Structure formats: C-alpha cells, structure tokens
Structure 1
Amino acid sequence: MTESNNLISLLRLYLIDGLGPRTYCNLKSVFGAPANVFTATAKELRAVPGIGPQVADRILCSNTSAAEAIREQCDQHNIEIITPENEHFGDLLQETYTPPLLLFRRGIPRIASKCVAVIGTRRCSPYGRRIAREMSAKLAQCGYTIVSGLAYGIDAAAHEGALESGGNTLAVLGSGLLQIYPRQHQELADRISGQGALLSEFAPNVGPNKTHFPQRNRIISGLSSATIVIQAAERSGALITANLALEQGREVFAIPGPVNDYRSRGCHQLIRDGAYLAESADDILSVMENAPVSQIMRGDAKEQTVTHELSNSELLVYSLVEESSTSVDYLIQSSELVVSEVLQTLTQLELKRLIVRDSTQYVSRA
C-alpha cells in the first residue's frame, strides 16, 4: 500500500462522524495501517472498543471522494497534512492520551524542536502584554519555539515577541487554516507561517466554533514541554490548558500580578496549587535546562528573598524594574496599581536593598 493511499485512508477515517482520537488509536492497534480498516468486515469493526453499529456502517459506506478533495485543496494552498509518523507531528504530542488523527500545517520546513506554550487572557493589561512579548522573545532567542493560539491578548503578544526576536513560533488554530480567526490576525498569521508554522486539527475550510477551542488547547499543551500562564481569570480557558499540561506530565509556570486584578487570580491559584512562580524567562530556563538562574541579584540569599519573601505587589513592581533606569511613571502605568501603593512598594524594595532610587523619579535594580 503506497503512502498516498494510506494518507487518503487516514483522511477517510478523519472525516467519519463519531470516530475520535481514542477510537482511532483502538483501530490502529487492531488493524495497523489506516487502509486495512476499510478491508475489515462489520463484525471485525464492531469488535473494536468505541466502534458501535453506526460508526461501523459509516466506515463501510465511506468513499474516497471527500478525502481526495481535501488533499487537492491542501496541495493548492501549500498546506501539508501531518500524520503521527511525520517528524513535525511532535513526539510529545504523540505521547498524549488523545493525540489528533492528523494535523494540517502551513509554514517553514524546519523549526526548533523544543516547544513551550505561552497563554493567557484575551483581555490582557499593558503589563501582561509586555511580559508576554519579552518572555517569549527571550525564550525564542534561547532556542525554544513559542506555541500559542493566535487569539487576542496574550496569545498575539507571545507570537509577536518570538517573531521580533527572530525566533520560531507555532499558532494552533480552532479553525481551518483557510479560515483564520480572528480575521484581524490574518497579517499576523501570514508572518507566523513565514517564520514558524500554523497548525490545525480542522480541515482547511472549517470555520471557528466554540467547541473547537478546548480541542485546540490540548494540542497547544501537548506540543509543549512547559506551559506558561500570563494573566488568567478564575475561569479562564488558559487554566484549562494548564490543567491539561499537568495531566500530560508537563511543567506549568504562572506569572504573578496585582492582587486586585481579576486577570491575575487564575495565575495566583495555579501558584497556590504548585505551579512554578516565574518572574522572568531565566526562572523558566533554570527549570527547563536544569541550570542556575541568571543572577537576579548578587548572592543566593538575596535571590531566595526575591522568590519567596516578597509580597505580590513587590514581586510585580520588582519584575518591571529594569537593570538600567526605569521611570516611576512607567511603573505606575504598567503595574496598574494606585500611585500610593507603587510608592510604598518602592520604599519597601529600597529598604530591602533590591532597588536604587535617585532624585529624578527613576529607579534601577541594585
């Protein structure tokens, strides 16, 4: 059986209503190659867990026309159909409980193999957007591919940070690759496909649907060795993705934020539940690479103070202070804390010898 025929057979299975990833795995364990499924009898099919009479009938009545139409459409639009045997499918994704039958991919031939997911709310603050861009840029410069979902807010900022750094990024869509959603991100999607790849579990012309996004989220976490959550409300979809990552045995990091900002409550809950608290890309790299964190401060005792003895507002403001001079006005705007709280926090950080403040309303790290 040729590779082309096996691809058509896999597409035929993909198009059968009621045949999901787990059932396909059961079919594969019994019949091997996808083409072998279509030579089975009804009795043999119904003996497979997950295959009832209706699904068995759909398999037996299936033909190649719809599958061939999808393959032709993909050829016309430079979309590659990725099977689990393809190197671009990803070993980590293959290890998950419900890997997709196949993926549709459009992008450059080769990208960095190490992936981390950067996710969060669509309604992010300037602080969240800045952290997402800077953290993604640093991780991309260190050889990681940034994986996200092309949504507004944190997703878009993560993709942009990776692109601006010259690194790779993957966008996993909840629609087909010819139905970019949101439509306002068409230009961003084009940039991503030129410097990374667009991925989807859905056929090219399938539009967005609210049921698609949980399916997409499992792929985002499944591709990635770690998931980083930057701003997420208590019931955010980003928390679902983080929980999927935990179920898949992957690392989860959360970025702290203002205690009075609903967009940070989900991140704080993740930290309480055992997620790594991350202030910078260095914190993430220290876990992922099993190497020392870049010295945030001089001395191990000071570093321990930064990660364990600061309040949430102190962590937030300190994370915004650059090595070089940073204006107090910038800290007020980016932290979204009230002026009095920022000034009080700066005083506490100065007393702890973590920052230096001059007379011109500028501060820098000590």
Structure 2
Amino acid sequence: MLYWIWLTQIPFIGPIAARKLIEYFENAENVYKAKEKYLEKIPGLSIKQKKNVIEFRSLKEAERILENCEKQSIDILCWQDERYPTRAKEPKDAPVILYYKGHFKEIERTIGIVGARRCSQQDKHRAVNIASECVEKGITVISGMAKGIDSYAHTACLNAGGYTIAIMGNGLDICYPSEHYQLMKEIEDKGLLLSEYPPGTLPTKYTFPRRNRLISSWSDKLFVIGAGKGSGALITVDYSKKYARKVYW
C-alpha cells in the first residue's frame, strides 16, 4: 500500500495523472520503479509531472501516513480493489486511493442527499422521508456529514436500519463539524466513512468542493434539498450533471 500512498503525494500529480500512470504501468509499485525513458512515453503528462515522479522517489512520507492510518484504525481502498464501485471509478478524476473507516457491503443502488446547512422543518422532513424510503428499497444513502440536510439524511438512514456512506473533506481522524462526533461513530459502526485525504488533513474551502465531486460520483442519483444561491450543494449538482447523474430538487 506504500506505493499507492506515495503516488498520491507527488506534487502536481493529481487523480487524473495518477490514473494515467496506473493504466500505463499497471500498479503503483511499477510506477515507483519505472525508468525515466519509460515515463517519457506516457501521453498527457507534462514534463514537470514526469520529472516529479523521478525526483520525489521516496517512501518516507508514505510510511508516515501509513503509520498514522494504523494508529487511527484507518484503512485504505486502492484503485484495483474489487470493492471500489464501478460507478465511482468512471469519472477521469476519481482518486486512485481512498481512506476509510467502517465496513463495505455490496452496493447495488445509491442515492446522494445534500442541501442546506440551515434548513426549514419542511426540508428536514423531506430529507428524513427520502432517506427512510431508501432504506425500505435497499438503497444506500450517501452524503457529506455536514450540518443540516446531510446529518438528517445520515441519521434517518441509520435509525431505519440502513447503510449510509459519509464522504468527508478532511482526514478521518478529524470530526468536522465537531458536534457530529457521535454521528461519525455511528456511521463508522454501521456504515462507511470515506475521504481521499490522509489523516491529519484539516477541512478547508478547497477540500470540500473536491469532496462534493465524490458524493456525485458515488451516487446514482442526487437529491438536493433547500439549497439556495451560494450553497456548496450546488457544486455537487454541477458534478452530478458532469457525471451524467440525475438530479432531483
């Protein structure tokens, strides 16, 4: 797993470039050991990206991250793992590794539920009803564990005995928002916590939009509830449209 972590820590090597390297060399260890003459043959990578693969050939940071994962009971899902859903791997910018806590189960159908952090009682009831109906139909509920609609959807799913996935914009050793600590523990116990960020990564205005694209890619459909102008949920909508997912308001 060290080589997979290493690949994601190379400067200027994002998910798209990492995926090109994996597709060419078959796995992360082969990328690490690749000679420069073979790297030069890969189309679609800049000179700087190819240079960085060579210059940042050290496993020290990957070893530190893996050690932190082991201390925090965080597991790692890599690109070639059969548990990585096909739907989530379709977009070109899908991460080659994801950090997770909880347990995987066979996922046949998924629905993303996102919306306003400050919402009306009517919107709250709608989120609860949709999540509850998903459980009755055996559909996995996906959201971002944010305040408001996200948390209501997760909670309703858990209360109904369903399976929910929370995709987070920070390392899984951090609970954000902090008041959702108990919810986070319940999702870990009964569902799945996911993040593309290693432990210790703080939430920022940059990590949340990246998180939102994963909510879209992991969901077959997206329900948007009470999201007004400027809401982060609209970023999720844009990604859902980009990934050809149906969006319901």
> Same fold judged by TM-score > 0.5?
yes
Matched, 1:220 2:237: no
User: What amino acid does structure 1 have at the position aligned with 2:39?
Assistant: L
Q: 56, 60, 79: which one pairs with 1:65?
A: 60
The unaligned stretches of length 5 or more in structure 2 are none
Q: What's the % identity of the aligned pairs? A: 33
2:21 aligns with 27
Distance in 1, matches of 2:96 and 2:25, equals 15
User: What amino acid does structure 2 have at the position aligned with 1:74?
Assistant: C
Q: CA offset at residue 85 of structure 1?
A: 2.1
Matched, 1:55 2:49: yes
Q: 225, 237, 240: which one pairs with 1:242?
A: 237
Q: 1:70 to 1:167 in 2, by over 3 A?
A: same
Distance in 2, matches of 1:72 and 1:114, equals 34
Q: CA offset at residue 186 of structure 1?
A: 1.2
Q: Does the CA contact (< 8 Å) of 1:104 and 1:177 recur in 2?
A: yes
Q: CA offset at residue 79 of structure 1?
A: 1.5
Residues 74-114 of structure 1, C-alpha deviation per residue, up to 9 Å, x if partnerless? 22322110012223321100111211121001002425442
Q: CA offset at residue 185 of structure 1?
A: 1.0
The unaligned stretches of length 5 or more in structure 1 are 1-6, 255-366
1:323 aligns with none
Task: Please list, as runs of the form range in 1=range in 2, the aligned pairs for 1:50-199 lying within 5 A after superposition.
Answer: 50-61=44-55, 62-110=57-105, 112-199=107-194
Q: CA offset at residue 235 of structure 1?
A: 2.9
Q: CA offset at residue 183 of structure 1?
A: 1.2
User: What amino acid does structure 2 have at the position aligned with 1:90?
Assistant: P
Matched, 1:45 2:43: no
User: What amino acid does structure 2 have at the position aligned with 1:228?
Assistant: F
Q: Which has the larger radius of gyration?
A: 1
Using the size of structure 2 for normalisation, the TM-score is 0.93
Residues 180-207 of structure 1, C-alpha deviation per residue, up to 9 Å, x if partnerless? 2111111110011111010000001111
Distance in 2, matches of 1:189 and 1:206, equals 17
Q: CA offset at residue 222 of structure 1?
A: 0.3
Distance in 1, matches of 2:197 and 2:37, equals 30
Q: CA offset at residue 60 of structure 1?
A: 1.7
Q: Does the CA contact (< 8 Å) of 1:246 and 1:252 recur in 2?
A: yes
**Aligned residue pairs: how many?**
248
Q: 7, 11, 28: which one pairs with 2:5?
A: 11
Consecutive aligned runs of 4 or more in structure 1 exceeding 4 Å deviation: none
Distance in 1, matches of 2:200 and 2:84, equals 21
Q: Does the CA contact (< 8 Å) of 1:245 and 1:251 recur in 2?
A: yes
Q: CA offset at residue 134 of structure 1?
A: 1.8
Q: Does the CA contact (< 8 Å) of 1:89 and 1:103 recur in 2?
A: no
Which structure is richer in relative contact order (CA contacts within 8 A, separation 6 or more)? 2
Using the size of structure 1 for normalisation, the TM-score is 0.65
Residues 37-82 of structure 1, C-alpha deviation per residue, up to 9 Å, x if partnerless? 1222334324434533433333223211221222222223221100
Distance in 2, matches of 1:73 and 1:114, equals 33
Distance in 1, matches of 2:241 and 2:41, equals 33
Q: Does the CA contact (< 8 Å) of 1:172 and 1:219 recur in 2?
A: yes
Q: CA offset at residue 253 of structure 1?
A: 1.0
The alignment's C-alpha RMSD in Å is 1.6
User: What amino acid does structure 1 have at the position aligned with 2:187?
Assistant: I
1:327 aligns with none
Q: CA offset at residue 119 of structure 1?
A: 0.5
Q: Secondary structure at the match of 1:193?
A: helix
